[in-house]
Amino acid sequence: MEQQIAQPATERIREVCRYIDHHPDEPLTGDRLAAMAVMSRFHFARAFRAVTGVTPKEYVNGARVRALKQGLRGSHGVDSAIYDAGYGSSSRVYENAAQRLGMTPGQYRRGGAGVEISTVCVDTLLGCMAIGATDRGVCFLQFGDSPEPLALQLRKEYPNATVVPAPLPRPPFDVWIDAINRYLAGEQPHLDLPLDIRATAFQLRVWKYLQGIPYGDLQSYKEVADGIGEPDAARAVARACGMNAVALAIPCHRIVRGDGSLGGYRWGLHRKRVLIDMEREGRAQTRP
Known catalytic residues?
Answer: 252
Mapped onto helix, strand or coil, the DSSP state of residue 155 is: helix
CB atoms within 10 A of CB 242: 11
d(CA 110, CA 159): 8
Q: Which long-range contacts (CB under 8 A, 24 or more apart) does 219-223 make?
A: 219/254, 219/255, 219/256, 220/255, 220/256, 220/257, 220/258, 221/255, 221/256, 221/257, 221/258, 221/263, 222/258
CB 250 within 8 A of CB 213: no
From residue 191, alpha-carbon distances to 97, 116, 154, 187 in Å are: 26, 25, 22, 11
Q: Is the peptide bond before 172 cis (omega within 30 degrees of 0)?
A: yes
User: DSSP state, 250?
Assistant: S
CB 215 within 8 A of CB 190: yes
Angle of helix 41-52 relative to helix 56-73, nearest 10 degrees, comes to: 60
Residue type, 122: V
CB 157 within 8 A of CB 140: yes
